[in-house]
Amino acid sequence: MELTFSSAAALALLLAVGAAPAAAYEMESRPGLVYAQHDATKLVGDLYLPKGRSKAPVLVAIHGGDWQTGDRDFYRYWGLFLARNGYAVFAIDYRLRAAGVYPAAVYDCKAAVQFVRAKAAEFDLDPNRIGLIGDSAGAHLAALVALAGEQFTTAYREDANAAVPASVKAVVGFYGVYDMLAQWTHDQTARPRDPIVEKFLGVSPMQNRRIYFEASPISYATIDHNQIRFLLIHGTDDDIVDPATQSGAFLTALTQAGFFVRRIVLPGAGHFWSSDPFESEPRSFNALAIPRLMRFLESSL
């Protein structure tokens, strides 16, 4: 199935959200692409393409949902918008709940990056201009794959694209979890009946502190990875993922290690808004972030 949206609609959206367009493209979609099969699960994604753009840069989009819920449809609005502005988006599903317990979901997201690079010529993408975008748990997975993808090599060695590099140039993270122990501590008061990090990692820190360190993107914010660029986006009123101990602390660690990193702080924004529609909502949090987000992409991909 192929969907096409007009450049006139793209221009209207750009003007609505206040971002002056350098170019407007029609959007084509390739839904339901199987990018890997891990164990008994076929992993699929929807590809949004800027029609007519050769060697388009591409973002692999990883949805949030506490590593327990959500799907690739979370990124349909960003897929439409970014494709109209010249960026391909590959929005993926990955294993959730027990099937996705760490590190299974990490391997799934890494495989999506490898798939995009392996299929770049087929979809007229630039294999050297790949980034990641994610929200909440998806931002955690995006940052972990970007910074520590080379650590995850012991499983799924028979994948068709297992030998393909999973390196990326940039990461956009909406209200992400970057320090798993800090989030576990926050969970004890914010959501004691649903300790999301402990569910994902399978153990408490009293049982295994090492896994909390290994699963935290902040642990890999080191000089040897500082060629990757980061944009961190969050609100001031997030009571699910604490901005100070997550995005704030990650920003400090990245800066100390010499990364190019930018942050957008949105007054009044809480959690779970990045998947909201924004075509007719020029004052939405997504729309307010777009001008700076687009400048980041232009300079980083």
pLDDT bucket at 279, cuts 50 / 70 / 90: confident
Determine the pLDDT at residue 23: 52
- Domain CATH code at residue 268: 3.40.50.1820
Domain limits for position 231? 7-300
Residue whose structure tokens are 């294999």 = 127
β-sheet bridge partners, residue 61: 91, 133
Task: Note the pLDDT tens digit of each residue in 222-274.
Answer: 999 999 999 999 999 999 999 999 999 999 999 999 999 999 999 999 999 99
Answer whether residue 283 is part of any domain. Answer: yes
Residue 185 predicted with pLDDT over 90: yes
Confidence of residue 16 (pLDDT cuts 50, 70, 90): very low
Q: Residue 2 above 60 pLDDT?
A: no
Higher local confidence (pLDDT), 2 or 81:
81
Q: What percent of the chain has pLDDT over 70?
A: 92
Burial of 299 (0-12, 13-18, 19+ CB in 10 A): exposed
Is residue 97 assigned to a domain? yes
Is residue 11 over pLDDT 90? no
Six-digit token pair at 62?
């990883």
Q: Give how many domains the chain has, as a whole number.
A: 1
Work out the number of other CB atoms within 10 angstroms of the CB of residue 191.
13
Write the CB contacts of 163 (distance below 8 Å, at least 6 apart in sequence): none
In a domain, residue 168? The reply is: yes
Lowest mean pLDDT among 14-18, 75-79, 293-297: 14-18
Q: Which amino acid is at 164?
A: V
**To the nearest whole percent, how much of the chain has pLDDT over 90?**
89
Closest CA to 230 of 114, 111, 129, 142: 142
Structure tokens at 278: 């924004």
2 occurs within a structural domain: no
CB atoms under 10 Å from CB of 81, counted, come to: 25
Q: Indicate whether 202 belongs to any domain.
A: yes
The answer to whether position 35 is within a domain reads yes
Per-residue pLDDT tens over the stretch 122-178: 999 999 999 999 999 999 999 999 999 999 999 999 999 999 999 999 999 999 999
Structure tokens at 200: 């994902």
